[in-house]
Amino acid sequence: MRIPFLHRTRVSSLPAEELILPVPITSPRPTNLIVTLWPAFPHFHRFANDPRIQGIRLNSAMMDASEIDDDFEHAVEETSVPLWFDIKAMQLRITEIVCGMDCDHLEIRLNRPIQCDTPTPVWFKAGEDCALLDHIEDDILVFDGGPAMEVRVGESIHIRNPELKVGGPVITPTELEKIQRVMDLGFARFYLSYVYDQTHIDAFRNIVGPDADIILKIENKWGLHWTQDHFQPQPNTHLCAARGDLFVEIDRPHEIMSACRTILKKDPDAIVGSRMLLSCVHDDVPSCADLNELAWLYDAGYSKFLLCDELCLKEDLLAMAVDVFDEFRGEYILNPTTW
């Protein structure tokens, strides 16, 4: 049985001015590409002065403060692309493997104390792996078995239990040492992870000062609720839809679209990061879906794009991603092809 449309309008009945809508003539928004690197990477210098790149995020998640040394200083001195240092605030990260691959179950310590109902699932590897947290004994997380892949110190975990409580200072002593070292080198641009309360920003500002530029990474549901209900524009402060972790933390995959719009609505100059151009990891040609996603993000209002670690760890992958993004910028934004 044919199901008729609920509403059907004959095109010929519409006024002529409604048939063809004028296309507004606007200048394209400047579109920035930001990559994720570390000065010790062999390919750092290749991209540190690339005019197609407008920023470099230095991700120190797996790095110790001791690696901010003379070699680090010399590398950043020779860089013309603006550098941003990423500080891990309220993010949960592994600091010790108490019992690992040589045991029949996993036991780990984290960078900050937590409380939550158990048993509860815990996600690893950006959501690619999972294990059941059986109980918390003192400050040790004891699992029933463990994830399929080996976990390492410095890696992040995700606990989506609604009863989760996260303690400890906003800036841990480990991160504080990194901040002090890079500030001594003149750094005044930072990313701050897992922000979901104004007190996180205030604590960080007390360290880096009011003139530092800060990008607040919104990475979980708490952060989304805070952004929607409480975030107000602040000097030298912008938001980032950090989709690498945010996609794992939200309840349902398709919520990522409204999450990105929520962040952009509160900050029209927000950055969108991670989980883009990942077809470059496996294929010689970028996927149609990847290119269309860049267009959707741009049309939604984003003009600053941050590439994730996976693309940036290897020179050939990053080179391809930068080439593809620059072609997208030229083809879709600056000089669209006419057929």
pLDDT value of position 19: 45
Averaged pLDDT for residues 106-116: 96
pLDDT over threshold 70, residue 121: yes
Alpha helices by DSSP H, the chain:
16-19, 44-47, 70-77, 173-184, 198-208, 221-229, 243-249, 255-266, 288-300, 309-312, 315-328
Q: Domain tally for the chain?
A: 2
Q: Which of 93, 116, 118, 108 has the alpha carbon at shortest distance from 147?
A: 108
CA atoms within 13 A on the CB side of 326: 12
CA–CA dist 203, 185 (Å, integer): 21
19-30 pLDDT tens trace: 444 445 467 888
256-287 pLDDT tens trace: 999 999 999 999 999 999 999 999 999 999 99
Mean pLDDT of the chain: 92
Does residue 122 sit in the same domain as residue 241?
no
State pTM to two decimals: 0.89
Instruction: Find residue 242's DSSP bridge partners.
Output: 273
Does residue 198 sit in the same domain as residue 324?
yes
Read off the CATH number of the domain in which 208 is found.
3.20.20.60
> Which of residues 166, 184, 206 is at a domain's end?
166
Contact status, residue 323 vs residue 284, Cβ threshold 8 Å: no
pLDDT over threshold 80, residue 64: yes
Does residue 282 sit in the same domain as residue 188?
yes
Does residue 176 sit in the same domain as residue 279?
yes
> Which of residues 121, 145, 166 is at a domain's end?
166
Residue 6 lies in a domain: no
Residue 26 lies in a domain: no
Read off the CATH number of the domain in which 155 is found.
2.40.10
Q: What percent of the chain has pLDDT over 70?
A: 92
pLDDT value of position 171: 96
Q: Output phi, psi for 16, to 5 deg.
A: -60, -35
Encoding tokens for residue 188?
A: 């005044």
Does residue 141 sit in the same domain as residue 267?
no
Scan for tokens 């480990």, then name that residue: 174
Show the domain range for 270.
Answer: 32-90+170-334
Q: Which of 46, 308, 76 has the alpha carbon at shortest distance from 189?
A: 76
CA–CA dist 227, 195 (Å, integer): 9
Q: Which of 194, 124, 135, 138 has the alpha carbon at shortest distance from 166?
A: 194
